[in-house]
Chains A and B, each alone.
Chain A
Amino acid sequence: MYNLFRMHIYRTLKSKSTLVLGILLVVFTFLHLGLGYIVFEDPLNIQAGGLYIQSNGSDVSLTPDLVHQFFIQGNSALLILLTIFTVLMTNSDITKGFVKNIYGMFEDKGKLVLAKWCAVMSSVTLVYLVTSIVSLGLAILCYRTSYESGNWDLYLIEFVVVYIGCIAMMTMVFLITSLFKSSAGGMVIGLVIASGILQSIERLIDVIIAKLSGATGKETIMAFTGLAEEGARKFFRISDYCIDNVFISFSPAMEQSDIARTVIVSAAYALIGLGLAVLLAKKRDVKI
């Protein structure tokens, strides 16, 4: 399996699309950095920057977890690029027909999928690590902060939980691409998940559930906003168990139970997604 993993890494490094996506990642990181000026200069823009914190119009200290939240978790460009990368890396041996050269040689087809998943997730992990470190560094350089007021415990929670969420989302993209065996199909559905478009539908279902359960007007609004405030948990919310919503809504300032739910839901999606992809490989034929 290690050799299969090495093979996937080798072809990824030789791929032109990896280079293109790498360049795009650098470009978008700098664009996001520019956006950071607008967001962090004026605390009122915090919500517009995708940061779920209570600023109340006062100055917001630039803490490491906030930088991570802005550059990684709230950076839709990063997620979209990772999705495209995952789709291309998952599908290229199938679309190019290369899989025919090795598929029959391995008795356990699950190993083929597992090795590919490991290679994809290693690449995702590398991108995650590099962009996390680079964004922390760039924030010091560009926003003249020294993280003196930084809460590194919160950063660690943010870093780990968002990483698990990221892996879970990319595993879902991996599964969907394996299922459809088409880059277009995988990419469309992957992007829908990664961009959080489905959130509105999930929240709408939450509202319907709340209404059917006899929620008051305020409770219905809370169900729709998805905020983890007191009373919001009164009714069952399907969005609490949807990976896109769980990922985007996460904040290290959440209650411990909510952080635990985020981790469990993400891990469950990753494990179930990988399990289904392995099962699929064992059952399906290679059609090229």
Chain B
Amino acid sequence: MMDYILTTNALTKKFGSYKASNEVSIHVQRGDIYGLIGRNGAGKTTLMKMIGGLTHPTSGSFEITGKNGEKTEKMMPKVGILIEAPGLYPNMTAMQNLKTKAIALGIKDESYLQGLLKEVGLENTGKKKAKQFSLGMKQRLGIAMALVNQPELLILDEPINGLDPQGIAEMRQILHHLCNDRGITILISSHILDELSKVATRYGIIHEGKLLEEASKEELFARCSERLELKTNDITKTLEVLNSMGFSKIEVKDDTINIYERLNEGGQITVALAKENIMTNEIALKSDALEDYYFQLTGGQSND
């Protein structure tokens, strides 16, 4: 049985008649870095806000399970969030910002807070105020803030937005450290797919408030990898023929059959189909980048 730290059940948020989140059901396993993919306005932030307790769902529910099997409400203090820009007091230092949250949670150990600053590489900021920080530093402080309550689940909304390449690399390093060394499960959203693909181990693709697909990194990359795309006048018969030829890595999507193995046997497939009086409308070797796959799924267009 899967060890899920977070499951949502048809989570919906309506603003008037507009559904920002439409019956979204995601499943986040413990230890995952779960990447939420979606363009701006797809509903990623709304979903995260609901899970983070900032927004009341219109309908549906979610369940966060702790290590000891504790559920939702009791587990909320074990969720760390960084939604959009980090919420910092600009006239306070990094330590003072952390201390403010720590006081609210009854944490008195300043060395623990110092450790958090070290973890995100801000241990030497001293009396520098948050308003003087670079965007990357602010984001890292935002993560430290989210870590104050020793979360089991960390929710990060677009944490790499606006960062320079070095900032992105540092953020990636921090995320790997938190997941691998501290065992924190991370739910992260981004519309920079290439970057997300470097950290996430599982994905949920959201479009117009709906969850279109949920897949592991391997599954998703398999779908993006090279394949034979086949269109015929009879899908059922075609599948029978392909089975008889020993093809097993097959996926049917609408009127297209995707074959992920023996990609050089296109000719044999066409002949075998012709023998069974099946007309081949189209057969082509295709491969996608994650971005292409995303656009294909959402019906959008890449800028290329």
Instruction: Tell me the A residues contacting B by CB distance below 8 Å.
Output: 3-4, 6-7, 10-11, 14-16, 92-93, 96-107, 283, 285-286, 288
Contacts and interface: CB of A to CB of B under 8 A. Distances in A.
B222 interface: no
Nearest to B15: A285
B56 A97 contact: no
A283 B55 CA distance: 10
Nearest to B91: A16
Nearest to B46: A285
Consensus secondary structure, chain A interface: helix
A3 B103 contact: yes
A104 B100 contact: no
B77 A97 contact: no
Contacts of B92: 11, 14
Given A3-B106, A105-B77, A98 B91 contact: no
A288 B49 CA distance: 11
Interface of B: 49, 52-56, 73, 76-77, 79, 81, 83-92, 96, 99-101, 103-106, 145-146, 148-149
A288 B106 contact: no
Contacts of A16: 91
A3 B85 contact: no
Given A14-B92, A15-B91, A285-B49, A98 B76 contact: no
Contact of B55 (A3, A107, A286): A286
Given A100-B81, A100-B83, 8 more contacts: A14-B96, A98-B100, A103-B53, A104-B76, A105-B53, A105-B76, A105-B149, A286-B54
A282 B87 CA distance: 21
Contacts of A285: 49, 54-56
A107 B76 contact: yes
A70 to B, nearest CB: 36
13 contacts: A6-B104, A11-B89, A14-B92, A15-B89, A92-B89, A96-B89, A98-B100, A100-B52, A103-B54, A105-B105, A107-B73, A285-B56, A288-B87
A101 B99 CA distance: 12
Contacts of A101: 81, 87, 101, 145-146, 148
Given A16-B91, A105-B77, A7 B54 contact: no
Contacts of A102: 101, 104-105
Contacts of B87: 93, 96-101, 288
Contacts of A7: 100-101, 103-104
Contacts of A96: 87-90
A104 B106 CA distance: 16
Nearest to B85: A97
Nearest to B98: A101
A216 to B, nearest CB: 54
A10 B103 contact: yes
A97 B86 contact: yes
Residue among A14, A98, A101, A103 with the highest chain B CB neighbour number at 10 A: A101
Nearest to B54: A286
B88 A97 contact: yes
Q: Considering the complex of A and B, which 6 residue pairs feature the smallest CB-CB distances, nearest first?
A: A104-B53, A97-B87, A7-B104, A286-B54, A285-B55, A100-B87
Nearest to A3: B106
A190 to B, nearest CB: 22
Nearest to B155: A104
